[in-house]
Amino acid sequence: MNLPRNEDYSKPEYWEKRYISEEEYEWLGGFQCYKSILQKYLSKHQQSDSILQLGCGNSSFSTDLRNEGWENITNIDISLTGLQKLRRRERDSNYVLMDMSIMSFKDKAFDIVVEKCTLDSLLVTAESPWDLDSKQHKLVGRVLKEIKRILNPGGTFISITFSQPHFRVPLLLAEGLGWSVQVEKIEGVGLHSFVFIIQDGDPAPARTKYLHSSSLVIQHNSDWESSDEEKFLENLNLDSDQEEDSSSS
């Protein structure tokens, strides 16, 4: 498989071309990898609550959610081809061609928002994960403000990513969001992933745990692995997802 360039991941035309020939791909593993965590943190919700998945691509994640009993799912993506393939696979959910940085949904439209590696695709061309003023980080900031706007008070935002907490938490604790953040680490076949659980609440505990004395965390806390840069393509094990999914089915 020829690897694309980092900048390709943010381009609609790349995904259109890719999804023409690709039926399904699960970034950082499929639903079974995260099922227990989703059950744990979404247990306060009713299965009739509205779910929005950002950047659904050709993943079966929303189909798996529906198979678990979740009844009201909307998927958005910038690729029409990806949306059409998902709709043929599972017709009971909603599929909308939309840019997640400028969503047309009404305020407080959803009870749950889920994304898996979609925010990562916006950051792969950033020169440094520490530069929160880069255009890539500002774009993610706009997306997060949109999520805040369309998420019901008391709702839950689940973000699944390869990004380590000291890189992602500063974005999630930006002024005006008013979020609390919890982090779960998932041991993968290749690359570890992290699940960020974001809800309305006090940001102080996450700020203290992940942002204060961050240099000490980077150098000495072996539980949270680190690197100077987030190198999406170099770190991603392109075979691990399929292997893990097949072993769990």
Look at residue 68 and give its three-state secondary structure.
Answer: coil
pLDDT of residue 54: 97
pLDDT of residue 142: 97
Look at residue 204 and give its three-state secondary structure.
Answer: helix
pLDDT of residue 224: 40
What distances in angstroms separate CA 233 from CA 168, 197, 229, one per listed residue? 18, 25, 12
Enter the tokens of residue 245. Answer: 């999914």
Instruction: Give the chain's domains with CATH numbers.
Output: 6-248 (3.40.50.150)
- Burial of residue 46, with CB atoms counted within 10 A of its CB: 0-12 exposed, 13-18 middle, 19 or more buried: exposed
Q: Which band of pLDDT confidence, cut at 50, 70 and 90, is reported for residue 229?
A: very low
Q: Mind listing the pLDDT tens digit for each residue in 24-56?
A: 556 667 788 899 999 999 999 999 999 999 998
Q: Is the pLDDT reported for residue 137 higher than 80? A: yes
Question: In the block, which residue shows the tokens 């798996």?
Answer: 64
- The residues, ordered by sequence, that sit 6+ positions from 139 with a Cβ below 8 Å of its Cβ are 101, 122
Do the Cβ atoms of 84 and 108 come closer than 8 Å? no
**CA gap 2, 246 in Å, rounded:** 23
**CA gap 64, 39 in Å, rounded:** 13
CB atoms within 10 A of CB 212: 9
Beta bridge mates, 73? 51
pLDDT more than 70, % of the chain: 72
Look at residue 187 and give its three-state secondary structure.
Answer: coil
Closest CA to 46 of 117, 152, 131, 135: 152
pLDDT of residue 125: 82
Query: Rounded to the nearest 5 degrees, what angle is found at the Cα of 130, between the Cα atoms of 127 and 136?
Result: 55
Mean pLDDT of 173-180: 96
Among the ranges given (57-61, 68-72, 230-234), the one the predictor scored with the smallest mean pLDDT: 230-234
Q: Is the pLDDT reported for residue 237 higher than 60? A: no
Enter the tokens of residue 57. Answer: 């691509």
Beta bridge mates, 143? none
Average pLDDT in the chain: 80
What is the distance between the terminal CA atoms of the chain, rounded to a whole angstrom?
A: 24
Q: Mind listing the pLDDT tens digit for each residue in 65-119?
A: 999 999 999 999 988 888 988 888 888 999 999 999 999 999 999 999 999 989 9
Indicate the pTM of the whole model.
0.79
Ranked by mean pLDDT, which of 109-118, 182-191, 210-219, 221-230 comes out on top? Answer: 109-118
**DSSP structure class, residue 189:** S
- The residues, ordered by sequence, that sit 6+ positions from 56 with a Cβ below 8 Å of its Cβ are 62, 75, 76, 77, 82, 83, 86, 95
Look at residue 163 and give its three-state secondary structure.
Answer: coil
Mean pLDDT of 218-245: 39
pLDDT of residue 243: 36
